[in-house]
Amino acid sequence: MKKTALLFAGQGSQTVGMGRDLCERFVSCRNMFALANEVLGYDLQGICFEGPDDLLTQTDNSQPGILLTSLVCLEALRRQAPALTFDAVAGLSLGEFTALTVAGSLRFEDGLRLVRQRGRFMQDACNATTGSMASIINMDAGALAEVCREADVDIANLNCPGQTVISGQKDKIAKAIELAKARGAKRAIPLQVAGAYHSRLMQAAQDRLAGLLEGIALQEPAVTLVHNVTACPASGVEEIKKLLIQQVTSSVRWADSMEWLIREGYTRFIEFGPGNVLSGLMKRINKDVEMLNVADTATLDSTVAKLNP
């Protein structure tokens, strides 16, 4: 039997209408959206289904919305493929909280409240700084590290071979882009983001999240959970909390995380949540593994067909 890992989408993958067709098809998915509205005390379902886009994009809406939609996608697959089993989970940044929920470490209700507050903390940090990010394509890792040192910016995401995202103050990111272009980067692309995620400019958000996590009860994950900061599992609940806090300002080591799972014998990966960003990254990390995804009814049906030939 193939060793299967479930992967969960991160912020930026949100799209107006996400989860709606699955809710039209499955009562259990509708119930999850209704419960989320009740837990959070506002109409998250309406924002996910109808937008407008600028309201959904706000971090305190997009983060619980993506977590919820990802869990709804998994629920839909479980309805159609009840024999599905998995032994590991991972999520990109925000998606790590979804992974914790699926692994039984974090309660659904706590996960929703936690990421909504996380989103608020991050938005506040964005508003208090002048941050930006850029994607650097096909540049030698050592040369890029030197560019980051010279420009005084941070490496935010190590997504896949040839794609690294940098983060920092807007003027310093502009300098880093020019240096990267001059020193061999194939492309250096400014990103349309609210601020400098996964950089030192998020320190205030990290400090506030640390205080919030003190009141959250976590359990040991029931399956292997690979963390962004270390690209490997944690050794206990206290380390999980520490890594969730550190993640706000640390690099997301996504490529290393996937390579760790592949070395452990995982050959099937299923992405859950809006879009298919993680599936695209996997093509650059390892083309030999099986990569499936569930984002809506069409991708659900395709994945079910492959799981139940």
At 203-258, the pLDDT tens digits run: 999 999 999 999 999 999 999 999 999 999 999 999 999 999 999 999 999 999 99
- Stretch 73-77: mean pLDDT: 98
Position 309 scores a pLDDT of 72
Q: How far is residue 246's CA from residue 258's CA, in Å, rounded to a whole number?
A: 20
Q: Decide if pLDDT at 69 tops 90.
A: yes
Q: Structure pTM?
A: 0.96
Position 92 scores a pLDDT of 98
Position 114 scores a pLDDT of 97
Q: Where in the chain is the domain with CATH 3.30.70.250?
A: 131-190
Q: Decide if pLDDT at 166 tops 90.
A: yes
Q: Where in the chain is the domain with CATH 3.40.366.10?
A: 3-127+200-307
Which amino acid type is present at position 210?
A
Residue 193 burial (10 A CB sphere; 0-12, 13-18, 19+): middle
Catalytic positions are: 93, 198
Position 192 scores a pLDDT of 86
Is 3.30.70.250 the CATH classification of the domain at 131-190?
A: yes
Q: Decide if pLDDT at 154 tops 90.
A: yes
Q: Decide if pLDDT at 1 tops 80.
A: no
Which superfamily does 3-127+200-307 belong to?
Answer: Malonyl-Coenzyme A Acyl Carrier Protein, domain 2 (3.40.366.10)
Q: What is the pLDDT of residues 253-283, one digit of tens each?
A: 999 999 999 999 999 999 999 999 999 999 9
- Stretch 167-193: mean pLDDT: 96
Peptide bond into 52 cis (omega under 30): yes
What SS3 state is found at 266? Answer: strand
Which amino acid type is present at position 18?
M
